[in-house]
Amino acid sequence: MSRASLSFPHFLLALAIVAVWGTNFVVIRFGLNHLPPLLFAALRFAFAFFPTALFVRRPKVPLGKLAAYGLAIGAGQFGLLFIAMKGYISPGLASLVVQSQAFFTIGLAILLTGERLRAHQWVAVGMAASGIGLIAWMGGGDATLLGLALVLLAGLSWAAGNLIARSTPGVNMVAYVVWSSLFAIPPLVILSLVFEGPQAIMTGLTQADAATWGAVLWQTIGNSLFGYAAFGWLLSRYPAATVAPMSLLVPVFGMGASAWWLGESLPAWKLAAAAIVLGGLAVNLFWRPRPAAAKAA
């Protein structure tokens, strides 16, 4: 039976998950030192699919949904995110801005269902937009307009993937991620060949060192398989309202890790932007309408 609050061991597990997801942005930056971004993304999904697919049965969902999820998360979310992080936005800010997926998910759901934003959701969206606007205004070398736009598009792609996954409730998300990865690989390889070129691909593979391949494997084992499996396990035992707020810590770990390992500066404007965006996410997650308002809605 679901419990209202996480036990201490399960809280530590949730903390480990968001730490992996947050620090992963620094790991991505290490991988991009040698690998072109689209090739890096293709390798991430290639290792996510094989050899894991030999041990994980394909989920019982239509192939079309697996393909759509693979395209949205593969070529969309991670393809665009990796391009942005190749010199257009810092890892810390990328970890923050990509959380816009929460608001894009709300927007797409409203667009598809005809629902309306509630008052607290308007406040949440306004806060997040203000924080991202502050990043665009003050970003400088830490966030170019192109980098910001690419990460926002990555967030939109992530939101599309969320809605595709939600259309098949109860599915094993590890199996879903593994088998959908098969459909992410071909478009990423083709895009890499077209836009990065065979020479850049060969140079990247030749120059890749142990740290680079470690970054690729961390994307697969730590970020995808461990993260999704453990988070799904927690969601099966606790209410979503208990587990989901832990995701607010992802940008905290992302910005902290980037400052620690990469020397990313954390001036007052950046901390203010983070506080505003995370505040918007918190309003959306924690706000509970009063019974009378909920009944009217």
Over the stretch 262-289, which tens digit does the pLDDT of each residue have?
999 999 999 999 999 999 888 877 776 5
Do 286 and 245 form a contact (C-beta atoms < 8 A)? yes
Alpha-carbon distance of 158 to 164, in angstroms, equals 10
Average pLDDT, integer, range 40-49: 94
pLDDT at 25: 95
pLDDT at 273: 92
Give the residue-averaged pLDDT of 95-123: 83
Which domain range does residue 239 map to? 8-291
C-alpha–C-alpha distance, residues 237 and 18, integer Å: 18
**Residue 142 reports pLDDT greater than 80:** yes
Q: Residue 1 falls within a domain, yes or no?
A: no
Dump pLDDT digits (tens) for 200-220: 999 999 999 999 999 999 988
Q: Is residue 26 a part of any domain in this protein?
A: yes
The structural domain count of the chain equals: 1
In a domain, 3, yes or no: no
| Side chain identity, residue 70 | G
**Does residue 65 fall inside a structural domain?**
yes
Tell whether the model's pLDDT for residue 1 goes beyond 70: no
Section 226-248 average pLDDT: 78
pLDDT given at position 228: 79
* Cα 172 to Cα 34: distance, rounded to the nearest angstrom: 34
Please check the confidence at residue 162 and state whether its pLDDT lies above 90. Answer: no
- pLDDT of 244 > 80? The answer is no
Q: Is residue 297 part of a domain?
A: no
Residue 165 domain-assigned (yes or no): yes
Q: Is residue 117 part of a domain?
A: yes
pLDDT higher than 80, residue 256 = yes
The mean pLDDT of the chain is: 88
Is the sign of the CA dihedral 236, 229, 9, 240 positive or negative?
A: negative
Mean pLDDT of 71-77: 93
- The whole-number pLDDT of residue 3 equals 56
